[in-house]
Structures are given as C-alpha cells and as structure tokens.
Amino acid sequence: MDHIEYERHLNQAQLEAVQTLQGPVLVIAGAGSGKTRTVVYRLARLVENSVPPESILLLTFTRKAANEMLTRAAHLAGQGLHGVAGGTFHAFAFGMLRRFGQRLGYDQGVSIMDRSDAEGVVKQVREMEGVGKGDRSFPRKGAVLSLMSKARNKERDLEDILASEAGHLLPHAEGIQIIQRGYEAFKAKHGLLDYDDLLFKFETLLREHEDIRDFLVQRYSHLMIDEFQDTNLVQGRLVRLLSGPEANVMAVGDDAQSVYAFRGATVNNILQFTSDFPGTKVIKLEQNYRSTQPILELTNQILGQATAKYEKHLFSERIEGPKPQVVRPLSDMTQAQGVVDKIVELSRTTPLHDIAVLFRAGYQSYPLEVALNKLGIGYQKFGGMRFAESAHIKDFVAHLRLVANPADLPAWQRALSLLPGIGPKTCERIYEATLHGDEAYMRRTCKRVPELENTLTLLDNLRNSRLGVAPVIEQLLDYYRPHMEERYPDDYPKRQAGLEELAQIAAGYTKLEDFLADMSLDNPDPGSGHGVEEDKVVLSTIHSAKGLEWSAVLLIDLVEDRFPSRHALSRPDDMEEERRLMYVACTRARDFLGLYVPDTVYKRNQGSTPVLPSPFVQELPSSTYEEWREGYAGGFRRQQEPAPKPAAQRSVQDDAPVNSASTSQAQPSNGYCRHKIFGRGKILSFIPPNKYKVNFSGFGIKTMIADYLQMEES
C-alpha cells in the first residue's frame, strides 16, 4: 500500500483526529468542516497501521453513507476494505440477532415485519379488541403505529407522548394503549420483531449473555460512529456495551446539529460522551469549507447563546462575501413577494436550483408557492406537501370552485365525497339533476342524505351573495372543519394551519375567479422527488435540508410562534433544539444568506397582527448583518447603522454580548410591564436567565427577552 500523504490533504484538526487511533475520541465536526473526509482518512489510517479491516465496526445512519465512506477509504488505502463491518445500527443489530437469536428464544430464526406487516397487526389487534369501533375520529393504523414507535424510541410512556405531541388524540389514549399491549403480545406469541425491536433485542442479547458481548468486544477492536448527535438512548447504550475496556471508540458529530428529538434522538449522548468515556480526547473541526466568513460570524453568534454545548468557533479562508441580510417585510404576504423578487435578482448570477428557501413547517411556503406560480418560476419542494397537492386543500378548493362555477364536475365529485352515502354514481346523478333542474330527484336525495341539503344550501347562499373572497372562505372554513377532523383524524391540527395560510393568501384578492386562477397555476410537473432538478428553486423544510448546501439560502417566517414554534417557547429543551435548527438552516448557505422577519402575520378572526421577531434574530449583534425594511410605499431599503457612541458615553454593557451583562439583570417579577407593540401586560413567570412569560390583553401569552420589556415600578 502506498504511503498516504495525510498532511497534504488534511488540516491540523483533521490530521489529529485521523492519527489518534487508541482510546476514546470525540470529534466535534462543525457544519461544512470536512467530517466525511476525516472519517475516510481515519479508516485508511487504521488499515495502514495493521488494524485488520474485520476488526473495525463503522456505524452510520444510512447504508449509502457507510458504502460511500468504505469505497473512498478503500480507494485511498489502495486495498479492499471488505472486512469492515459497516452499516446502520439496525442492520448490524439484525445481523447479530440472526446469528445469536436462538439465545433469546428465536429457535426458528428472526422474522422482521416491514411497515405494512406491522400496520396489519395493529389493524388486527384493534378489531380483535373492539377498540374505536364505529368511531371515525379514532386514529388510523399508521398513526397508531407511529405513536407507539415514537414512545418506544424516546422511552417514554405513550400517554406522555400523546399529551406533548398529539393532544388532539388524548381522548383515545386508553384505546391506543390497549392496542399497544395487544401488539406487543401478538409479536411475542408469533416470534415477530419490528424495526424498533432490533435495537432493544440486541441490547438484551448483550446484557444477558456476557459471552456474546465479550466475543463482539474482542472481534471489533475499533468502533467508529458517524452522526453521533442523532443517536437515541438505546443506541448510546449499545455503543457503551460494544466499546470494551480499551474503549477504542471514535464518535463523530456536532451537538449543534442535533435536531431530531421528534424521532427520539437525544443530544445528551454527545454532550455526556466525555463522562461516559473517561479520558476522552476531544477534537474540534472548526475550519469551514462551505460558507464565507460573514455568514459564519452570524452562525457563531446563534450558537454562542446555547446553554449546553461544546464551545467552537467556525472560520473560513473565504474571507470576502456580503453580510447576511435581515429583511423586515410589513407582513407575511409581502414577505412572499419580497422573496420572489430576491430570487429573480439572485437568478441573474446563480442557477435557480442553487437557491433555496427554507422554513420551519411545510405550510409556511404556501404563499410563496402561489407567488412563484404567478411568475412561472419552477420549484421543487422537500418536506411537507406542495400546496396544491395537499388533500385537505383540494377538498376545500373544490367548494370554492362550486361557488364560482356550478358546472364543475370534478369539484362536485371532490366536495360530495365528504358526505356519507354519496358515491361516484350518486354524485354524477346529483350533478345532472342540478344542471337540469330535476327538483324531484334532489328532494328525494336530500331527504335520504340530510347533510347534502345543508351543503347545497351553504353553496347556494355563497354563490348568490355579494360577499368578498375572504368572507366566503371564512364561512366555508367553519363548514369544512368538522369534515376535516373526521376525514383526517391523525393530523388535522397541522392541516388547519395550512387552511389558515389559504385564508391569508385569499385575503389579498377581490375576485374569487382570480384567486382560483392563481391556485390552478401550479407547476404541472411535481418533480420526481429524487435529487435536485435543474432550473427549479428549492423549497424545503429545514429538517429536509440537513446535510445539503446552496449558494443562496433565504430563511422565512422568523417570528415567534413560527420559528421557534409555539410549543417550544415554554420548554427550555425544545427552545435549545429550535436554536440548533436555526443554526443548521443558516449554515446551508455558501455565499448569500437572507433572514426574513415579517412585522405582522395573518391570523384568522384577527387579521394581520403584530408579532415579535424570533428571539434568535433579536439576539444577533447588528454588526453581523445588514438590515433591510419594507416601506409603506413598497420596496425595501437598507437601514443605516446607528453611529457609535462617543467613548465617554459608552459603558461595559454596550460592548457586552446580548445575553451577557445586559440580560443578566433580568430578575423574577410578578408585576406588570410594557412592550412597544403589545402594550401593557401582566408578568406570569420568569424564565432564567433572561426571559419573561407575559399575558398581553388582546394578544395573549408571549415569551420574550427582558431587554424588550419596560418594567413598571410597584
């Protein structure tokens, strides 16, 4: 094997990680810092130092990642690495259970159910137990299975999961728990395992059979774990069980990119690694090969406010580049147009597929999708449904189409499918009777299906009224909501947010026909969903964007209740994950980063209401970005930075980071305060170190940083 010139291809930190082959090593790999290159070169280094490939265990989160690393390492080493055990945690666990399963009582071998099989068992158990019989609001088998899986991976009680993540399903908690017990009993009786069982049964094998654990510890002298920040509790325990007394284990990851708690991942695995493995050598990869230094200055500030973290400061040799922009549109509707204008501007020098718009939740891109469609700009969306493809949006728009055009047969078919007792043939007959005035048939059908008469009366009233687009939508929203809750019992709260966006978009129209025309201008080609397509802007949730990068990134809806989400505002751990999500989003950008912070957002029954900027934006020093504001007459103008104070007027507090001296003065209080937008509010609680939960009359409960509140003297 040729000698590999490590010094030539690696920076100093990467080289240190590659050359440290003994004992526990934790590599904190900042965004864009060459993590994969480091893993690949270390694999080659191990083999170069006479470690047999079959003694190396590489655990990753996708088979593709493991194969890529092994292929590159083999090419580098000039020899095959086929003996390396590389793959996912689940695949490795399955292999060990197949080999030693009889020690756990699986004498006939290990049978793994796929997702379809598991859903079939859930259905069978539900029917056998008579759970939710005749109750159309009971969650579907797939949703029940997902909830059980989430409880298993988070190692929390199922009812706790329902309370914190699916409160609308709490009335069904007892029934779901009955199914959970029956599901586990069914698997045990028939010797079946599902995907989640693989890790837990493998852990049982290692704990209860010391001889097997010792064999594997001796077999795999060197462990390497990729994306360690994404491991869950049982995966963390498996790493400890497999590491052995010498603990030649290298974990690679970034605590700042741990954003999958909803899947069961815990950032504590990487934060506690040095405690779990005494004597750990911590190596930080801080040189970024993706972004310009101005972008990294901003992302370092986001990370600097985290409460629990490994300190790091990303830097780049790409010193030059524009500062990130913080753009403040007047509303979330003008935000959509402002983003489109920026895309058009960027497209003069950047291919459309190298421009990405990122958002916290899928529904947040809906106004932007309509705006892109109107200009004929192609896009592809990752994470969340495209606006016009969402089933509940199609349901709702079908009713709007009937208000505008009674001869729209597809709209009749979609709208009437919501009603019990009306199939495709009856629908066509109703359509013909309506157009030809067959009152006798309509009377008979309405008598048989009372819900039909209510629907037709509503549509007639709306069609004959002279109401504007927004009032029509308001009435239809009230009509459709119970249908939506019955039709989509698993996730109707999330779908409701999409309908709120629809109402917001419609508020800008005076004619229903114009609104429907823009809605129908959706791209005819939804895309394959595999890879990035040429000449199409990328729209993506931040979770779906992890691991990717673009020349230009625009991040929208950076306001409280949207980013961070409403639920996270009251939970410190969730707020920390939202901060990490913000960091992930911003570090996707190579050359340009735009942060959009609308002054108002549309809320049903309230119209456009003032909102607070995301605390993650509020914390940013003004030196890290350019600020642009939309004027009342339209257009965005750059705001000039305030002149620095004369030295005599400056204080230590002026130079302190935002969360340091200035915010350390925040103290618990039970009185009242004032805010420049929300007015006077009652302080409900103090959230250390520097936030208050305040109830503002007319605006509800808000959580905000102390610097933005003026305390009233008692």
Would you list which residues are annotated within the binding site for ATP?
A: 29-36
Which residues is 552 bridged to in the sheet? 355, 592
Token duo for residue 361: 């939740």
The answer to whether residues 24 and 281 touch, using CB atoms and an 8 Å cutoff, is yes
| CA gap 222, 53 in Å, rounded | 10
SS3 492: helix
**CA 684, CA 420: separation in Å to the nearest integer?**
47
554 near 342, Cβ under 8 Å?
Answer: yes
Within the chain, how many helices (H) and strands (E) appear? 29, 23
- Main-chain dihedrals φ then ψ at residue 523, nearest 5 degrees: -55, 130
Cβ atoms of residues 298 and 593 within 8 Å: yes
141-154 vs 173-190: helix crossing angle, rounded to 10: 80
Nearest CA to 377 out of 540, 535, 539 is that of 535
* Strand 550-555 versus strand 222-225 pairing type: unpaired
User: Which residue ranges make up the annotated binding site?
Assistant: 29-36
Residue of 427, 389, 391 lying closest to 409 (CA atoms):
427
Please name every residue paired with 603 in a beta bridge, in sequence order, or none if there are none. Answer: 607
**Which residue carries 């992302």 as its tokens?**
299
φ and ψ at 163, to 5 degrees? Answer: -65, -35
Q: How many CA atoms lie within 13 A of 13 on its CB side?
A: 19
Give the Cα separation of 484 and 480 in Å (integer): 6
Half-sphere exposure of 96 (CA within 13 A, CB side): 30
* Cross-strand bridge partners of residue 76: none
Query: How far from the centroid of its chain's Cα atoms is residue 559's Cα?
Result: 16
Separation between Cα atoms, residue 97 and residue 404, nearest integer Å: 61
Identify whether the C-beta of residue 344 lies closer than 8 Å to the C-beta of residue 537: no
